[in-house]
Amino acid sequence: MNRRTATPPPASTKTRCAIYTRKSSDEGLQQDFNSLDAQREAAEAYIASQKAEGWVCLPDRYDDGGFTGGTMERPGLRRLLADIDAGKVDCVIVYKVDRLSRSLMDFAKIVETFERHNVSFVSVTQHFNTTNSMGRLTLNILLSFAQFEREII
């Protein structure tokens, strides 16, 4: 019997990953390397670590510099959601969950869009990943609290 270390076969399907970045203020955005760049770099490194699983980084940038996370009216977020609706994205990567939204109700709306299009969601620094069952459970718990918040308001 021939025993050798097998390398995993290349993934047959690609997971197209979109990186979303946000910074509330314009401060520092004019620098050569700013907060949005740092968030993107961390997300790109995470995607690279999943290369064996077929993850690839989409070239489009979904950046919102100088926009609060308390509203959905952000050009980068709008483009991301439009590309999800168009079937161009399989997974959304953020540095932290609050980069996507600081509003539980808006977060629930965004996640509904993800689920409708079978899009996974990963937070790089919070080990939050809906590509696995534990991540989906965590998400459902968060959404339960969001629903509770909507009902008591």
Q: Given this model, what pLDDT does residue 101 score?
A: 84
Q: Given this model, what pLDDT does residue 120 score?
A: 92
What are the DSSP calls for 2-65, one per residue?
Answer: ---PPPPPPPSS-EEEEEEEEESS-TTTTSSS-HHHHHHHHHHHHHHHTGGGTEEE-S--EEEE
Walk me through the domains of the chain, giving residue ranges and CATH numbers. Answer: 15-152 (3.40.50.1390)
Per-residue pLDDT of the chain (153 residues; tens, 9 = 90+): 555 554 544 556 899 999 999 988 666 556 665 789 999 999 999 999 999 999 999 999 999 998 888 889 999 999 999 999 999 999 999 998 888 887 778 888 998 999 999 999 998 987 777 777 887 788 777 767 766 765 776
> How many Cβ atoms are within 10 Å of 135's Cβ, its own excluded?
17
Distance CA 4, CA 23 (A): 48
Q: Given this model, what pLDDT does residue 139 score?
A: 72
Query: Taking the model in full, what pTM does it have?
Result: 0.78
> How many Cβ atoms are within 10 Å of 92's Cβ, its own excluded?
26
User: What one-character DSSP code corresponds to residue 138?
Assistant: H
Distance CA 28, CA 91 (A): 28
Task: List beta partners, residue 17.
Answer: 57, 91
Q: Given this model, what pLDDT does residue 69 score?
A: 81
Q: Given this model, what pLDDT does residue 140 score?
A: 73
